[in-house]
Amino acid sequence: MPTKDNVRIAPAEGKLGVLIPGIGAVSTTFMAGVEAVKRGLGKPIGSLTQMATIRLGKRTEGRSPYIKDFVPLAKLDDLVFGGWDIFEDTAYEAAVKAGVLERGLLDQVKEPLSSLKPMKAVFDHEYVKRINGPNVKQGANLMEKAEMLMADIESFRRNTGVSRLITIWCGSTEVFHRPSAVHQTLASFEEGLRKNDPEIAPSQVYAYAALKCGVPFANGAPNLTTDIPALLDLARERQLPLCGKDFKTGQTFMKTLIAPGLKARMLGLQGWYSTNILGNRDGEVLDDPGSFKSKEETKLSVLDHILQPQLYPDLYKDFSHVVRINYYPPRGDAKEGWDNIDIFGWLGYPMQIKINFLCRDSILAAPIVLDLVLFMDLAQRCGMKGIQEWLSFYFKAPMTAPGLYPEHDIFIQLMKLKNTLRWMRGEDLITHLGLEYYD
């Protein structure tokens, strides 16, 4: 592959440890899927790192290598999994209970999944109200619990012999909360850990422990977690990448496909009503108004940023946007979403679009977890630190530098991701200008 490094990329040597708070539907579908792909039992559909190509140079050059051949990524064979949960179920038992993958497939990967026994979790029922479990750390204060997590991370590193680690939050959605005084500086945050400050969420204790151990952190849920100055500073100080929040799957994925199209054609929007039924444990947790509020915030922000009503008042001023999630146990992980979109065209004539998406949440989320693990490891080996905006592609509420609005349009996000990879390898960025073909 003719590539010239633009940034120094350390090789992907040795094993890559993946540490996951939350051994539930998403994380077990991800791990079981990796084991299945390794055994040739299925293909990693939905994963850019495994399936996508990247065009290099001019359209006439015919250079489109696979991303995995273009940048040095860890191999699936080199991934080693570990994690924490408030329940004692092994990853195999948790996967059976989640009911996403068929038992026949799970039984073929039973051995590696059964060997993953969740470590004791840092948990606070005030932050996830609908569940309670026995596998929880006891300690005098949050700092002591953070130190226990650090000990877990270091013993995982020693026992598995991994050369690098990534943490990715696949735990339940915590209740909505805003940054407060304790989150402002690392010193105030550490003082808060020692004093058991109720404003510090369990996910923030994990993120703190990971960063202190030199491990990057990705956030798959809408929780505030690393979106606070104290942890952003810690990541930069330790030269570690961060990314989040909330995996972009089902309905929001559809929104970020369709809204840019409507705007591209200057079609107006009067309203967008989205409702879902979902019956897995995630749905049960989201049935609590506090956890739903976290989700609602990330789901609602998308349309405003894409449609920019301040620039296009005739088209998008005051459109109505409603998002509902209904917990309905019979559906399990097989979510069903309905969207009713009221749009208008030429001379204001109204039209409607209806979407009925019968999706499988964890089937859509698993490849995102894989890509984030591999790209965060790549970022780490490139010395990229702090918020990784090029990974916005994967998130409903992408983290951005303070004062910068997030890019939600999935096509802009994809271009940003691929151009970042080109930049890493010293290839020309692709602008799609293309005038040179007509000279």
Residues binding ligand NAD (CB under 6 A): 21-26, 84-87, 98, 121-123, 128, 131, 133, 170-173, 202, 220-221, 246-247, 249-250, 280-282, 285, 361-362, 364-365
CA–CA dist 398, 243 (Å, integer): 8
Helices (H), 5-117: 25-38, 48-51, 67-70, 91-98, 103-108, 110-114
Residue with tokens 């996403």: 100
Choose between 100 and 306: whose C-beta lies nearer to ligand NAD.
100
Q: 177: closest CA among 226, 122, 223? A: 223
Q: Is residue 379 within 8 Å of residue 215, measured between CB atoms? A: no
Tell whether the torsion through CA atoms of 396, 400, 402 and 403 is positive or negative.
negative
Smallest gap from residue 154 Cβ to ligand NAD (A): 18
Smallest gap from residue 92 Cβ to ligand NAD (A): 14
Residue with tokens 């609908």: 130
Choose between 70 and 127: whose C-beta lies nearer to ligand NAD.
127
Q: Is residue 45 within 8 Å of residue 51, measured between CB atoms? A: yes
Residues 218/116/93/202 CA torsion (nearest 10 deg)? -40
Choose between 226 and 280: whose C-beta lies nearer to ligand NAD.
280
Q: Which residue is nearest to ligand NAD (CB)?
A: 24
Q: Going by DSSP bridges, is the β-strand pair 241-243/217-219 parallel, antiparallel, or unpaired?
A: parallel
Q: Which amino acid is at 322?
A: V
Grouping H, G, I as helix, E, B as strand and the rest as coil, residue 315 is helix
Choose between 156 and 247: whose C-beta lies nearer to ligand NAD.
247
Smallest gap from residue 128 Cβ to ligand NAD (A): 5
Smallest gap from residue 21 Cβ to ligand NAD (A): 4
Backbone angles phi, psi at 142, to 5 degrees: -65, -30
Choose between 118 and 192: whose C-beta lies nearer to ligand NAD.
118
Choose between 32 and 364: whose C-beta lies nearer to ligand NAD.
364
Choose between 57 and 99: whose C-beta lies nearer to ligand NAD.
99
Choose between 71 and 221: whose C-beta lies nearer to ligand NAD.
221
Token representation of residue 20: 């996951």
Smallest gap from residue 370 Cβ to ligand NAD (A): 14
Token representation of residue 147: 């130190």
Smallest gap from residue 275 Cβ to ligand NAD (A): 16
CA–CA dist 30, 83 (Å, integer): 13
Helices (H), 271-346: 281-286, 289-307, 313-316
Smallest gap from residue 366 Cβ to ligand NAD (A): 9
Smallest gap from residue 350 Cβ to ligand NAD (A): 32
Token representation of residue 395: 């998130």
Smallest gap from residue 3 Cβ to ligand NAD (A): 33
Containing 212, the helix (H) or strand (E) segment is: helix 202-212
Smallest gap from residue 272 Cβ to ligand NAD (A): 19
Choose between 123 and 390: whose C-beta lies nearer to ligand NAD.
123
Choose between 21 and 82: whose C-beta lies nearer to ligand NAD.
21
Residue with tokens 């001019």: 58
Smallest gap from residue 12 Cβ to ligand NAD (A): 26
Choose between 166 and 364: whose C-beta lies nearer to ligand NAD.
364
CA–CA dist 153, 82 (Å, integer): 9
**CB 237: neighbour CB atoms within 10 A?**
12
Q: 372: closest CA among 149, 73, 91? A: 73
Q: Is residue 130 within 8 Å of residue 190, measured between CB atoms? A: no
Token representation of residue 157: 């590193």
Q: Is residue 173 within 8 Å of residue 128, measured between CB atoms? A: yes
